[in-house]
Amino acid sequence: MDPYRLGLLGHGTVGRGVVDLLHRTSEECGRRTGRHLEVTAIAVGDPTRPRALPEGCAARITGDPLEICRDPAIDLVVELVGGIDAPREWIRAALEAGKDVVTANKAVLATHGEELFELARDHDCRLLFEASVAAAIPVIQVLQHGLPAGPIDRLLGILNGTSNRILGRLEGGMPFTEALAEAQRDGFAEADPTLDLSGWDAGHKLALLTRLVLGTSVPLDALKVEGIERIEPIDLAFGARHHWCLKSIAELRRRPEGISLRVAPTWIADNSELAAVHDEYNAVLLEAETFGTLVLQGKGAGGLPTAGSVVADILRAARGEGRTPATPRQELRILEPGSSPSRHYVRFRAKDRPGVLARIAGALAEEGVSIASVEQPEPVDPSAVPVHLITHPVPTTVLDAALSRLGPNGILSEDPLRIRIDALPSPLPSTRVDEGPGATKGATPCPA
Ligand SMILES: NC(=O)c1ccc[n+]([C@@H]2O[C@H](COP(=O)([O-])OP(=O)(O)OC[C@H]3O[C@@H](n4cnc5c(N)ncnc54)[C@H](OP(=O)(O)O)[C@@H]3O)[C@@H](O)[C@H]2O)c1
């Protein structure tokens, strides 16, 4: 069989999975492509460390990714290192040398995708990236080739397994720092988890999916991104009492007046499809007039699930499929995501002083924010009494303006936490203020 020679950049969690999977499935890969797939070189950060390679794999190990990208004997470069600047240079070099490229790196494509896809087209090469979004879920293929005609009106995604796993642990009452430490210990969070927790890992993935849905690229600054760093078990406990579930939701919404893009912690009904997506699992929900609702769900991280999608791309390239389609630039009208009204949950921590609730209600009323319900559990610490509040539908932008009026005014012990409530079938909870010892004196239920 005609050989198809691969150069891998990276032999970490995903890289090792790819080498092992190609070895285990070599006969099937040969049948499906008509070619003999051969890993001939692997670049790593530390080339002096011994590497366990499958029997019969004679790949040379190097510390120089560019050497692989420029090697005329290599047909395809698989980038599995991560990061932005260096992978951009390596992918550029490989495409300029006329090689196909497969990558699992959403960050480099979300940041420099237009430049790299254009380069791939100019050199008549493939740049494939199935594993970069939702690891095992073939969502890129579905969006590129698998859907009936007709525009997608809405895309909702749980696209970051680390956040999803941590939110699940908070729901069980585990403190945030412990939940994060557990995720890191079990290999589900990076040593530096900033991109996961800030929502930007999901933001990068949403940018890639948006490019496919709209057929044009969107700048990253069109996304509004909020993280899960300030969520606490008391928020989850409040939601659970009202049959809500908290998920970090990535959302693309297309309306006649424009599109909005956001990643944010969002309350959804605990019996909805996305509420059943736990731990490192990811899901993508698509809505369109043609097919109604379609949900794709699967493992969103891990060496083997991700390697499976990388190998699927390698097979496509070896068969000569998957050329990068042109994406003509379009003028998009980007809407502020919080501009249409939704109900919101707000958690305050207030000092135990008379009239605190009245001051909060007053600040909200000045911006026309109407309160549906207030709950103040009996406080443990009188310097930081939690108050949970639900608003009637209001644009997030208006609520944020109202909350900023509260500013550093001496009654709050920290900034309020605000979370949007997505359309819920369940009724709103009724107003309740516990008047136990230490409860905020003079507080009254707030009128709607
Ligand atoms: N892990 C997942 O579940 C998952 C899921 C989807 C997508 N991805 C994406 O897949 C990519 C790889 O992730 P991973 O989890 O496999 O990462 P990883 O375990 O940290 O492995 C990174 C690999 O890159 C090598 N490396 C680092 N710097 C290098 C350099 N300058 N030159 C050459 N090699 C270098 C490392 O070398 P050493 O072995 O010497 O340290 C290691 O082999 C990332 O883009 C990630 O976002 C990962």
Every domain of the chain with CATH number 3.30.70.260 lies at 341-433
* Model confidence at 442: pLDDT above 70: no
Q: Which fold has domain 2-132?
A: Rossmann fold (3.40.50)
Share of the chain above pLDDT 70, in %: 94
Average pLDDT, the chain: 90
Q: Which residues are annotated as catalytic?
A: 205
Whole-prediction pTM? 0.91
User: Is residue 309 within 6 Å of ligand 1 at its C-beta?
Assistant: no
Model confidence at 448, pLDDT cuts 50, 70, 90, reads: very low
Predicted pLDDT at 299: 94
Predicted pLDDT at 293: 94
- CA of 370 relative to ligand 1 center, distance in Å: 49
Task: Give the ligand 1 atom nearest the CA of 135.
Answer: 6
Predicted pLDDT at 424: 56
Q: Name the closest-CA residue to atom 33, ligand 1.
A: 44
- pLDDT tens digits, one per residue of 304-361: 999 999 999 999 999 999 987 777 777 889 998 888 899 999 999 988 888 888 989 9
H/E segment holding residue 281: strand 281-288
Every domain of the chain with CATH number 3.40.50.720 lies at 2-132
Among 112-116, 178-182, 331-335, 337-341, the range scoring the smallest mean pLDDT is 337-341
- DSSP for residue 202: H
Regarding the domain with residue range 341-433, which homologous superfamily does it belong to in the CATH classification? ACT domain (3.30.70.260)
Every domain of the chain with CATH number 3.30.360.10 lies at 141-301
Predicted pLDDT at 408: 66
- CA of 209 relative to ligand 1 center, distance in Å: 22
Q: Which CATH number fits domain 141-301: 3.40.50.300, 3.30.450.40, 3.30.360.10, 2.60.40.10?
A: 3.30.360.10
The residue to mutate among 11, 14, 84, having the most atoms of ligand 1 within 8 angstroms of its beta carbon, is: 14
- pLDDT tens digits, one per residue of 223-237: 999 999 999 999 999
Predicted pLDDT at 1: 81
Q: Which two tokens stand for residue 347?
A: 């958690």
Task: Give the ligand 1 atom nearest the CA of 301.
Answer: 3
User: Is residue 104 within 6 Å of ligand 1 at its C-beta?
Assistant: yes
Q: Identify the CA nearest to 88 among candidates 123, 62, 112.
A: 112
Kindly state the average pLDDT of the residues 403-407. Answer: 85
User: Is residue 105 within 6 Å of ligand 1 at its C-beta?
Assistant: yes
What sign does the dihedral 23-24-29-30 (CA atoms) show? positive
Q: Find the angle CA(318)-CA(57)-CA(322) to the nearest 5 degrees.
A: 15
- CA of 85 relative to ligand 1 center, distance in Å: 14
Task: Give the ligand 1 atom nearest the CA of 83.
Answer: 45
Does residue 444 or residue 305 have the better pLDDT? 305
- CA of 105 relative to ligand 1 center, distance in Å: 9
Edge-to-edge strand list for the sheet holding 76-79: 60-62, 35-43, 2-9, 76-79, 100-103, 127-128
Does residue 370 or residue 332 have the better pLDDT? 370
- pLDDT tens digits, one per residue of 277-299: 999 899 999 999 999 999 999 99
